[in-house]
């Protein structure tokens, strides 16, 4: 019942209106209180001034009386005192006549007359110097006048004091009423605020629930509850991004049921729906926890498999799935036999993008279905040099000329201080039709053609240009660029690096060139010669993905290197297993022995970062610190002003 009341729109509107009125009432009370207090303060100050002047009249009369007494005791000594005291009360009496209230002005008339007589008596006394009796008579007369004046002054002082006490008491009672009214209104406002919050939270939960439900429906199949094509595409893109960073493989299986149309035509669509649910349950029970099962439509299903080791591994998983799937199923009392055909494709071996992975898995599935193989793995050998790949190379040349390539930067930080010590430049392709492409979408094709050389030079120039912009903005960020094997073995590459540095006025020490172990081992003698020339320029040299290649210790010892980058596969387990920590510790000991710096790649969580610091690894990079971002976003991440040019 209460929930229905809270959900009522009328209650929500009433609560908001009531709260607004309550706030307005509090504002009115505050204004009244401020006005009343100001009026009270003004009243008290005015009465205090009037009372002070009456007190001054009393004081001055007393002074004149004392001067009179001194004059009567010692005429010579007291004459000056009496001369100075006479008429001293007149300014206060005149002030009262001008600024006093109505009663003050009425009372001061009598006081003025009495004070005039008192002053005349004193003046006559000062003139009478020989007749002592007359002087005494005048002195007694003046004393009586002074007594009257003092009593009048004190009476008015007391009158004002009593008036102020009464006024303050009235003000206190009024303030008590204001406080009580404010407390009542505050209480009502609090209750209304609670009601408004309840209404707001109820509506927010309802909206969030509807949003979650809508998103779930948009990304899942209504019949089986599995992921639909849209969600599968998203999951494929996520898996490919991770695989690209982790240098791992991703498998995709496409499954098509055999003779599903016969089931629908013979037993009806209800039986077909039951069969699809049974297939979904069997697939879900058979896959790994990291796999994603999706229904693409009709009788077509897909299984996304992150972290597979090889196509054979993917085929082995497909065989297990097919074995779990095949077998009899009872549909409304009718037993049918379930069977299917599975096609498999693997990223990056068979495909360089999500859509291509789906396409190749689909081709493999139709191959399995057409040839009654049960399972088929996509064979890329037949179209390795297809027109699509050739078209990609042509588009890449155009992309270089039309500035479609962009760089994202991933920061490297000190594990001890958290200070950014440099950035790694990573290429992206802002394709006009396909959107933002990652290196895995085009670098493999580029490495198989001559375009990899101008592409590397272009990336190097872009990175140095960006460093120059940062330096002009008082931000010194050393930058690292990946170098492919073909450039490392090119005798002209050091000259091109030197020219790129000189043209832009960038010191060589801020540039790090990252190479792979396989690049070194392919031709160690030539690689050593090129690296020596690069080091002679002042460029820093780093071995990327260390630990996954095949370089021997002798080659590593003979190469003029500055840095080793521990592969992410070891970093990922450094905080989780003794073996991972032992491998990282061994690499660090090796680096110290060879006087090399170390950077840990692929830091994905705080535990790994802390463990690396404890092991003595100086620098780290990874998603836990920051993903690769555009230059402007990097400046915002660093807390620097975002400027586009120098």
Lowest mean pLDDT among 455-469, 477-491, 538-552, 631-645: 631-645
Q: 563 phi and psi, to 5 degrees? A: -150, 145
What is the percent of the chain where pLDDT is above 90?
Answer: 22
Taking each helix axis as running N to C, give the angle between helix 229-246 and helix 354-370, from 0 to 180 degrees, rounded to the nearest 10: 110
Per-residue pLDDT, 553: 62
Under the banding of pLDDT at 50, 70 and 90, the label for residue 298 is confident
Q: Say if CB 147 and CB 174 are below 8 A apart.
A: no
Indicate the DSSP class of residue 439. G
Instruction: Tell me which H or E stretch contains 597.
Output: strand 597-600
**What average pLDDT is seen over the chain?**
84
Per-residue pLDDT, 519: 78
Higher pLDDT, 371 or 338: 338
In the sheet with 292-297, reading across from the earlier edge strand, the strands are 292-297, 300-308, 249-257, 340-347, 375-377
Of the candidates 465, 463, 454, the residue with the CA atom closest to the CA atom of residue 503: 465
Express each pLDDT in 227-266 by its tens digit.
888 888 898 898 888 888 878 888 898 998 887 877 776 6
Per-residue pLDDT, 383: 45
544: how many CB neighbours lie within 10 A of its CB?
22
DSSP-assigned beta bridge partners for residue 597 = 563
Per-residue pLDDT, 598: 94
Instruction: Tell me which H or E stretch contains 246.
Output: helix 229-246
Of the candidates 103, 110, 88, the residue with the CA atom closest to the CA atom of residue 156: 103
Express each pLDDT in 475-499 by its tens digit.
999 999 999 988 988 899 999 999 9
Tokens at 268, concatenated:
């009806």
Residue 524, phi-psi category: left (phi > 0), alpha (psi -120 to 50), beta (remainder): alpha
Tokens at 134, concatenated:
């007359």
User: What's the CA gap between 302 and 296, in Å, rounded?
Assistant: 7
533: how many CB neighbours lie within 10 A of its CB?
17
What contacts 405, CB < 8 A, 6 or more positions away?
399, 427, 428, 429, 430, 455, 458, 459, 462
User: What's the CA gap between 236 and 252, in Å, rounded?
Assistant: 9
Per-residue pLDDT, 645: 40
For the chain, what is the total number of helices (H) and then of strands (E)? 23, 16
Q: Say if CB 434 and CB 471 are below 8 A apart.
A: no
Residue 133, pLDDT above cutoff 80: yes
DSSP-assigned beta bridge partners for residue 412 = 422
- DSSP secondary structure of 325-386: H-EEEEETTEEEEE-EEEEEEEETTT-SSHHHHHHHHHHHHHHHHHTT-SEEE--GGGGTT-
Express each pLDDT in 97-131 by its tens digit.
888 888 888 888 888 888 888 888 888 887 887 78
Please work out, in degrees rounded to the nearest 5, the angle formed at the alpha carbon of residue 553 by the alpha carbons of 548 and 558. 115
Express each pLDDT in 302-359 by its tens digit.
999 887 877 788 788 888 888 888 888 887 777 888 888 898 888 888 777 888 888 8
Q: 252 phi and psi, to 5 degrees? A: -135, 125
Of the candidates 331, 316, 314, 204, the residue with the CA atom closest to the CA atom of residue 262: 331
- Secondary structure of 163-227 in the HEC alphabet? HHHHHHHHHHHHHHHHHHHHHHHHHHHHHHHHHHHHHHHHHHHHHHHHHHHHHHHHHECCCCCCE
Of the candidates 601, 606, 462, the residue with the CA atom closest to the CA atom of residue 544: 601
Per-residue pLDDT, 189: 78
User: What's the CA gap between 257 and 296, in Å, rounded?
Assistant: 12
Buried b (16+ CB within 10 A) or exposed e, 24-44: ebeeebeeebeeeeeebeeee
Q: Say if CB 481 and CB 425 are below 8 A apart.
A: yes
Per-residue pLDDT, 370: 65
User: What's the CA gap between 102 and 64, in Å, rounded?
Assistant: 28
Per-residue pLDDT, 390: 56
User: What's the CA gap between 315 and 318, in Å, rounded?
Assistant: 5
Q: Say if CB 438 and CB 428 are below 8 A apart.
A: yes
Indicate the DSSP class of residue 417. T
Q: Say if CB 291 and CB 237 are below 8 A apart.
A: no
Per-residue pLDDT, 619: 94
- DSSP secondary structure of 550-568: ---HHHHHHS---EEEE-H
What contacts 639, CB < 8 A, 6 or more positions away?
none
């Amino acid at each position: 019942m209460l929930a229905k009341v809270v959900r009522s729109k009328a209650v929500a509107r009433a609560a908001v209106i009531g709260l607004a009125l309550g706030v307005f009432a509090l504002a009115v009370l505050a204004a009244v209180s401020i006005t009343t207090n100001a009026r009270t303060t003004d009243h008290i100050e005015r009465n205090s001034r009037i009372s002070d002047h009456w007190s001054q009249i009393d004081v001055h009369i007393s002074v004149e009386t004392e001067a009179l007494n001194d004059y009567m005791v010692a005429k010579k000594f007291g004459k000056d005192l009496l001369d100075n005291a006479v008429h001293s009360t007149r300014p206060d009496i005149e002030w009262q006549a001008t600024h006093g209230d109505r009663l003050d002005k009425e009372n001061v008339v009598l006081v003025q007359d009495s004070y005039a007589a008192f002053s005349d008596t004193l003046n006559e006394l000062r003139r009478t110097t020989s007749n002592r009796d007359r002087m005494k008579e005048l002195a007694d007369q003046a004393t009586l006048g002074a007594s009257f004046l003092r009593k009048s002054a004190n009476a008015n002082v007391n009158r004002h004091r009593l008036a102020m006490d009464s006024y303050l008491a009235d003000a206190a009672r009024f303030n008590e009423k204001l406080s009580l009214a404010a407390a009542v209104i505050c209480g009502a406002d609090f209750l209304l605020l609670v009601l408004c919050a309840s209404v707001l939270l109820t509506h927010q939960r309802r909206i969030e629930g509807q949003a979650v439900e809508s998103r779930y429906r948009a990304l899942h199949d209504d019949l089986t509850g599995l992921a639909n094509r849209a969600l599968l595409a998203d999951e494929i893109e996520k898996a490919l991004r991770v695989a690209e960073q982790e240098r791992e493989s991703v498998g995709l299986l496409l499954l098509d049921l055999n003779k599903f149309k016969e089931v629908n035509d013979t037993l009806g669509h209800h039986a077909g729906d039951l069969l699809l649910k049974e297939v979904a349950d069997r697939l879900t029970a058979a896959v790994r926890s990291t796999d994603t099962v999706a229904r693409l439509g009709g009788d077509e299903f897909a299984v996304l498999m992150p972290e597979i080791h090889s196509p054979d591994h993917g085929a082995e998983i497909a065989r297990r799935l097919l074995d779990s799937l095949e077998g009899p199923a009872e549909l409304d009392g009718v037993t049918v036999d379930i069977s299917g055909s599975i096609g498999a494709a693997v990223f990056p071996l068979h495909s360089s993008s999500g859509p291509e992975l789906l396409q190749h898995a689909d081709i493999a599935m139709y191959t399995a279905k057409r040839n009654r193989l049960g399972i088929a793995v996509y064979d890329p050998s037949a179209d390795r040099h297809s027109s699509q790949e050739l078209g990609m190379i042509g588009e890449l040349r155009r992309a270089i000329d039309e500035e479609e390539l962009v760089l994202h930067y991933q920061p490297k930080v000190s594990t001890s201080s958290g200070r950014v010590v440099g950035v790694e430049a990573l290429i992206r392709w802002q394709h006009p039709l396909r959107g933002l492409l990652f290196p895995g979408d085009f670098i493999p094709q580029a490495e198989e053609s001559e375009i990899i050389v101008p592409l590397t030079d272009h990336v190097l120039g872009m990175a140095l240009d960006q460093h120059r912009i940062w330096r002009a903005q008082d931000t010194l960020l050393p930058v690292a660029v990946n170098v492919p094997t073909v450039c490392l073995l090119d005798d002209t590459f050091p000259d091109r690096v030197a020219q790129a540095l000189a043209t832009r006025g960038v010191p060589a020490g801020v540039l790090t060139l990252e190479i792979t172990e396989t690049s070194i081992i392919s031709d160690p003698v030539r690689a050593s010669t090129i690296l020596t020339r690069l080091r002679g320029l002042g460029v820093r040299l780093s071995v990327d993905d260390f630990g996954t290649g095949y370089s021997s210790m002798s080659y590593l010892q003979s190469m003029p290197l500055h840095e080793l980058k521990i592969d992410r596969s070891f970093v990922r387990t450094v905080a989780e297993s003794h073996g991972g920590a032992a491998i990282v510790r061994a690499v660090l000991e090796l680096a110290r022995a060879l006087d090399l710096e170390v950077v840990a790649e692929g830091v994905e969580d705080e535990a790994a970062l802390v463990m690396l610091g404890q092991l003595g690894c100086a620098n780290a990079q990874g998603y836990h610190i920051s993903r690769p971002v555009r230059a402007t976003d990097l400046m915002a991440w660093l807390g620097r002003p975002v400027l586009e040019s120098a």
